[in-house]
């Protein structure tokens, strides 16, 4: 059982190729981290997996527990168990946080099934407590006027509530102070399970002090150019991406 990406190629609408053959297998139970310089295609990879329409897949495969997901729309992939915490979470004016999450959960139920409101709010409040989020965030419009750190925390709240099979987090640590980072890590660690895989995109080794990855990959120029264990993140922090010059000729 894994989220498996094989030789994935994707381009912008104007034909510019961004992903140039990415292969990555994320078995359930594992945490994989992707690091790499700005503009290497990390966010594009996460959005292509989630099914964003602004990219055209020109080659390769993405399978979720053996099922091809590339023909699925964004909502269908979400219901199949993929969750993407965005680098820049969108605001949803006029929709309260509590109703937004509830609607997402309701969409996963069979026809005629209804969410139990009491159980829903209990679960929501428990998870907000875990993330040290004030209850006032249930009534506020999704991400509207939230600080950068509050938006990131809210993405993790959605993730905790939806209990996806595969969690992709795009620079969730960027813009967080150290206390918020620890809280986010606590939320993620609470979700770690043999039934769930994680892909963490990060610029900083420090997130990986709190969420221990099983594997670390380096992405450059639309490809994974190096893979290793947690020690690779430490090495990158120390030495930077200079070594890429040898691996990716200009």
Kindly list the residues in this chain that would bind Mg ion in the complex (CB under 5 A): 42-43, 87
Among 3, 9, 33, 40, binds ligand ADP (CB under 6 A): 40
Minimum distance from residue 172 beta carbon to ligand ADP (Å):
13
Residue 130 phi, psi (nearest 5): -60, -40
Residue 209 phi, psi (nearest 5): -70, -30
Residue 58 near ligand ADP by CB under 6 A: no
Minimum distance from residue 203 beta carbon to Mg ion (Å):
9
Among 35, 41, 184, 226, binds ligand ADP (CB under 6 A): 41
State the Cα–Cα distance between residues 149 and 174, nearest whole angstrom.
8
Closest CB to Mg ion among residues 79, 203 = 203
Q: How many residues bind ligand ADP (CB under 6 A)?
A: 11
Cβ-in-10-Å burial (0-12, 13-18, 19+) of 208 comes to buried
Among 9, 11, 26, 43, binds ligand ADP (CB under 6 A): 43
| Residue 40 binding partner per list Mg ion, ligand ADP, none, with a CB distance cut-off of 5 to 8 Å that depends on partner kind | ligand ADP
Nearest to 183 by CA among 140, 233, 134: 134
* Two tokens, residue 154: 């809210």
| Residue 158 binding partner per list ligand ADP, Mg ion, none, with a CB distance cut-off of 5 to 8 Å that depends on partner kind | none
Closest CB to ligand ADP among residues 186, 203 = 203
Q: Where are the beta strands (DSSP E) in 99-189?
A: 141-142, 166-170
State the Cα–Cα distance between residues 57 and 68, nearest whole angstrom.
13
Minimum distance from residue 42 beta carbon to ligand ADP (Å):
3
| Residue 38 binding partner per list ligand ADP, Mg ion, none, with a CB distance cut-off of 5 to 8 Å that depends on partner kind | ligand ADP
Closest CB to Mg ion among residues 46, 158 = 46
Check if the beta carbon of residue 166 is closer than 8 Å to that of residue 1. no
Residue 8 near ligand ADP by CB under 6 A: no
Q: Which one of 36-44, 131-139, 172-180, 185-193 is the stretch in contact with ligand ADP (CB under 6 A)?
A: 36-44
Check if the beta carbon of residue 211 is closer than 8 Å to that of residue 200. yes
State the Cα–Cα distance between residues 216 and 230, nearest whole angstrom.
6
Residue 39 near ligand ADP by CB under 6 A: yes
**Closest-approach residue to Mg ion (CB):** 43
Q: What is the dihedral of CA 40, 46, 52, 58, to 10 degrees?
A: 60
* Two tokens, residue 60: 């390769």
Residues in the site for ligand ADP, rule: CB under 6 A?
12, 18, 36, 38-44, 54
């Amino acid at each position: 059982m894994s989220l498996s990406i094989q030789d994935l190629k994707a381009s912008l609408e104007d034909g510019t190729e961004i992903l140039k053959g990415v292969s990555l297998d994320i078995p359930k139970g594992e945490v994989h981290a992707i690091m790499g310089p700005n503009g290497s295609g990390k966010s594009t990879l996460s959005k292509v997996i989630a099914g964003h329409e602004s990219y055209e897949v020109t080659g390769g495969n993405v399978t979720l527990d053996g099922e091809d997901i590339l023909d699925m729309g964004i909502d269908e992939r979400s219901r199949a168990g993929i969750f993407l915490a965005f680098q820049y979470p969108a605001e949803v004016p006029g929709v309260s946080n509590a109703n937004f999450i509830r609607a997402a959960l309701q969409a996963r139920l069979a026809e005629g099934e209804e969410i139990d409101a009491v159980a829903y709010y209990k679960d929501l409040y428990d998870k907000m407590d875990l993330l040290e989020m004030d209850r006032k965030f249930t009534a506020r419009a999704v991400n509207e006027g939230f600080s950068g750190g509050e938006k990131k925390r809210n993405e993790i709240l959605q993730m905790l509530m939806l209990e996806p099979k595969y969690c992709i987090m795009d620079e969730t640590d960027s813009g967080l102070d150290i206390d918020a980072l620890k809280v986010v890590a606590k939320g993620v660690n609470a979700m770690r399970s043999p039934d769930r895989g994680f892909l963490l995109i990060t610029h900083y080794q420090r997130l990986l002090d709190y969420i221990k990855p099983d594997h670390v990959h380096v992405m450059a120029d639309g490809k994974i150019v190096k893979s290793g264990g947690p020690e690779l993140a430490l090495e990158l922090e120390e030495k930077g991406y200079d070594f890429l010059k040898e691996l990716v000729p200009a």
